[in-house]
Structure 1
Amino acid sequence: MKDWTAALGLEPHGEGGYFRRIYTSPHSMQTEHGPRPSATSIHYLLDEKQPSGHLHRNRSDILHFLIDGGPLEYVTVDPDGELHRTVLGAEAERFLLVPGMWWKASRLTGGATHGLVAEVVTPGFDYADHEFATRDLLDELPHIAQELAGFVRA
């Protein structure tokens, strides 16, 4: 396996895994929460040391493109509380859209040693638009709490 962390200059990510921002649009747009770049992009890596990402959501839409490795399982929860599972990998999908305000988490699956993804966020990412799930979310979604519990930070 190529050492993507060194090759791409990735750093630990608060969601789990590793990342580096690779693009911020020079064009901004006004949102109800203030100005945002029209798009941002990161490389995001899960590996055997960091095999999963914590459950979180963003106000913006996020496009995920599998570049190398996998399979990766994405667990998403729509605003109606419905659980969705998508696998990105050579034998499955290679692209996933997670609409704004959907909860999402990811993990290596199927014996994968790593999964490298490029993410495009539009409007662009701002930490003010980001929220980690807490144990309170599990109380709000008792019908899927057991499936989400492993993705919620302690």
Structure 2
Amino acid sequence: MNPRLITASNLVAVLDLEPHVEGGFFRRTYQADHRDMLETEGGQRFLMTSIYYLLTAESPVGQFHFNQSDILHYFHLGDAIEYSLILADGSLQTLVMGSDVLAGQHLQLHVPGGIWKASRLLNGENGFGLISEAVSPGFDFADMEIGNRRKLTTQYPQHRALIEMLTRDED
């Protein structure tokens, strides 16, 4: 076996990632603490924060969640990741982040604040997908809402099957 083979478990170890509440693994890698804080409705926030975010075969879903801040996603390596976005008007947008740009995959993805977003690892040979996210105003868990399956299926019944697949059953 090649000792330099990249696997999900050695990425978790080398990048010092921990489980994320929405699924997958993460670690904050940057916060703009050299700049003045921004005043938001939710309180003071860093101008920008950034994380690594990893989905794995064992934790392949970042369940539906809602953020107040804008997020830029950057694909790094591994298998493609599909993003499902429920826009304010209830329409669904599906995009794939990955390295195959000739097939229409995205290396970058902007998700404005105020959008329900979920992600899932697509089948591939690696068993993981690694991205980074830059968040502005900076991420704070107080500005995030994890999707409640019952609430989302009531609000967006046309997306029931997708919502059921990309949320946890907490009823």
Q: TM-score range by the shorter chain?
A: over 0.9
Q: How high is the sequence identity, in percent, across the aligned residues?
A: 43
TM-score for both structures, normalised by structure 1: 0.96
Give the match for residue 41 of structure 2. Answer: 32
Which whole-Å deviations, capped at 9, do the CAs of 1:14-63 have from their partners, x for residues lacking one? 11010000011112111122111000110000011111111001100011
Partners of 1:53 and 1:89 lie apart in 2 by 16
Give the match for residue 112 of structure 2. Answer: 99
Q: How far apart are 1:153 and its partner, in Å?
A: 1.6
Give the match for residue 21 of structure 1. Answer: 28
- Whether 2:71 is the aligned partner of 1:71: answer no
Partner of residue 109 from structure 1, selected from 103, 122, 144: 122
Structure 1 residues without counterparts, runs of 5 or longer = none
TM-score for both structures, normalised by structure 2: 0.86
| SS of residue matched to 1:49 | coil
**Equivalent runs, 1:5-154 vs 2, <5 Å:** 5-26=12-33, 27=35, 28-91=37-100, 92-111=105-124, 113-134=127-148, 135-154=150-169
Partners of 1:133 and 1:145 lie apart in 2 by 13
Which whole-Å deviations, capped at 9, do the CAs of 1:87-146 have from their partners, x for residues lacking one? 011111111111101011111114251100100110001111000111211111111112
- Normalized per residue, which structure has more strand? 1
CA RMSD of aligned residues (A): 1.1
| SS of residue matched to 1:64 | strand
Question: How many residue pairs are counted as aligned between the two chains?
Answer: 154
Partners of 1:70 and 1:40 lie apart in 2 by 25
Q: Larger radius of gyration, structure 1 or 2?
A: 2
Structure 2 residues without counterparts, runs of 5 or longer = none
